[in-house]
Chains A and B, each alone.
Chain A
Amino acid sequence: GAGVSQTPSNKVTEKGKYVELRCDPISGHTALYWYRQSLGQGPEFLIYFQGTGAADDSGLPNDRFFAVRPEGSVSTLKIQRTERGDSAVYLCASSSDGNSGNTIYFGEGSWLTVV
């Protein structure tokens, strides 16, 4: 597609439920990133994929969070046993590769609300 596409744009879930957030990167981009943004703050890094593998997952807050990119294109961020503190905008981004100077383009985000 023309840009990074994320679905759903909004998700309301009950505490303790499981959610999946999907990201479709720009066609041909091998690097894909997930960030989380809370109200009034800048995005915070969660995980970075180069191809199918997670090159850096140091930002995942705990083992309830997991992400996959099985075919090196679409990625899914999975959150188990959601907590109210997980409420945030989850942003996906992609770049042509993970090298310096390659512009990182963000999607519009998935707004997650845990009630």
Chain B
Amino acid sequence: GESVGLHLPTLSVQEGDNSIINCAYSNSASDYFIWYKQESGKGPQFIIDIRSNMDKRQGQRVTVLLNKTVKHLSLQIAATQPGDSAVYFCAESGGTSYGKLTFGQGTILTVHP
């Protein structure tokens, strides 16, 4: 998997704005993608997932977009709230070991009231 240092990308938004968090993945054989939210001192929390046969999936206030051509994934959060502040990770899996998630670089989202 990818490894990153301590300098994670950051995104600061105002409460009520829409947020877009981006992720590039590396394995063209991956066919399942997940977004996780991680608050300080807690484990990753599932947000939304998408399979490679789709390019868009919507949940409650969240949308995931998948562009397989350029191996890019994005998470859109509508009407961002202070409670959305956290580190967001994308993860990919596929092939014969779907449980072996490879996590991408996290993004720190800060929502200002």
Contacts and interface: CB of A to CB of B under 8 A. Distances in A.
Interface of A: 4, 31, 33, 35, 39-45, 48, 55-56, 58-59, 91, 93, 95, 98-109
Contacts of A45: 1, 100-102
Given A91-B44, A104-B34, A55 B97 contact: yes
B99 A42 contact: no
A69 B4 CA distance: 31
Interface of B: 1-8, 31-32, 34, 36, 41-46, 49, 51, 89, 91, 93-94, 97-106
B43 A109 contact: yes
Given A42-B2, A42-B105, A48 B32 contact: no
A41 B3 contact: yes
A33 B99 contact: yes
Contacts of A91: 43-44
A100 B102 CA distance: 14
Contact of A103 (B7, B43, B49, B51): B49
Given A91-B44, A100-B93, A44 B103 contact: yes
A100 B104 contact: no
Contacts of A95: 99
A43 B3 contact: no
